[in-house]
Amino acid sequence: MGKKRIIQKSEEELLKEREKIEASVKKETKIKEGQQIREGRIYISSSYNNTIITLTDSKGGVLAWASAGSIGFKGTKKATPFAASKVAENICLTAKKLKVENVSIFVKGIGSGRESAIRSLATHGLDIVSVEDITPIPHNGCRPPKVRRV
pLDDT for 21 equals 74
Q: Which domains does the chain have, with CATH numbers?
A: 36-58+80-135 (3.30.420.80)
How many of the other CB atoms lie within 10 Å of CB of 99? 13
Compute the distance between CA of residue 65 and CA of residue 61 in angstroms, rounded to an integer: 11
pLDDT for 117 equals 96
Sheet order of strands, 51-57 included: 62-67, 51-57, 39-46, 102-108, 127-133
pLDDT (tens digit, 9 = 90+) per residue, 75-115? Answer: 999 999 999 999 999 999 999 999 998 999 999 999 999 99
Compute the distance between CA of residue 77 and CA of residue 56 in angstroms, rounded to an integer: 26
pLDDT (tens digit, 9 = 90+) per residue, 29-52? Answer: 444 545 577 899 999 999 999 999
Contacts 24+ apart (CB under 8 A), 12-19: none
pLDDT (tens digit, 9 = 90+) per residue, 114-129? Answer: 999 999 999 998 999 9
Residue 87, amino acid: V
Question: What average pLDDT does the segment 1-17 reach?
Answer: 74
